[in-house]
Each structure stands twice: as structure tokens, then as C-alpha cells.
Amino acid sequence: MLFNLDFLEKIVGLQQRKVAFDHAFQHGHGEDDYTPAVLETVAPLRHANDITVDGYRFLADTTDLTAKVTMPSPSFAH
């Protein structure tokens, strides 16, 4: 599971679908059996619940430094 799909599949209206991918990962160690999922739109997109807020709170509670939240670019959904 890639981290970006954890985020995107929580957007109402998006769901994962497996497809062939012409440009596989190169020079790594896991390309043999890896087919990345793509997303398809099945309904109007909607933010039903917060996705990263609990993770942010958990992280912020562990440090006095600035806690950064990373999320996939919206272009992943296109």
C-alpha cells in the first residue's frame, strides 16, 4: 500500500481500480509483481470526514517542533 492511496480512498467518490501500467518502477527490488492502483471517480467528490487531523494531533503531541502533514497532490485523483 502506498501512503497516497490511504488518503485518496477516504475522499467520498473515489475508489481504487487495478489497471496495467506501462511505466513500471525501475532499478528497485519490487517491480516484479507490482501494479499500482489507479483511482476512478464513481460519485461527486466530497470531504465527509477529516483524513489527516488525528494523525497530525498524534504527531504534534510527540514533539515541540513543527509537525508537518504530507498528503498526495490532488493531481493523483485526475
Partner 1 sequence: MDEFFADLAAVYRDEIMALAAAGCRYVQLDEVHFTFFCDPALREALIARGDDPDTLAKTYTRLINECIAGRPDDMAITVHLCRGNYRSGWVAQGGYEPIAEQMFNELEVDGFFLEYDDDRAGDFQPLRFLPPGKTAVLGMVTTKSGDMETGDGLKRRLDEAAQFAPLDQLALSPQCGFASSTHGNEISEDAQWAKLDLIVATARAVWG
Q: In the complex, which residues of this chain contact partner 1 (CB under 8 A)?
A: 1-4, 11, 13, 22-31, 34, 41, 44-47, 50-53, 56-57, 60, 66-78
Secondary element (H or E) of residue 13: strand 12-18
Alpha carbons 72 and 75: distance in angstroms, whole number = 8
Task: Quote the least distance from Cβ 70 to partner 1, whole Å.
Answer: 4
CB of 54 to partner 1, least distance (A): 9
Q: How many residues does the chain have?
A: 78
State in angstroms the smallest separation of the CB of 36 from partner 1. 8
Phi, psi of 18 (to 5 degrees): -85, 130
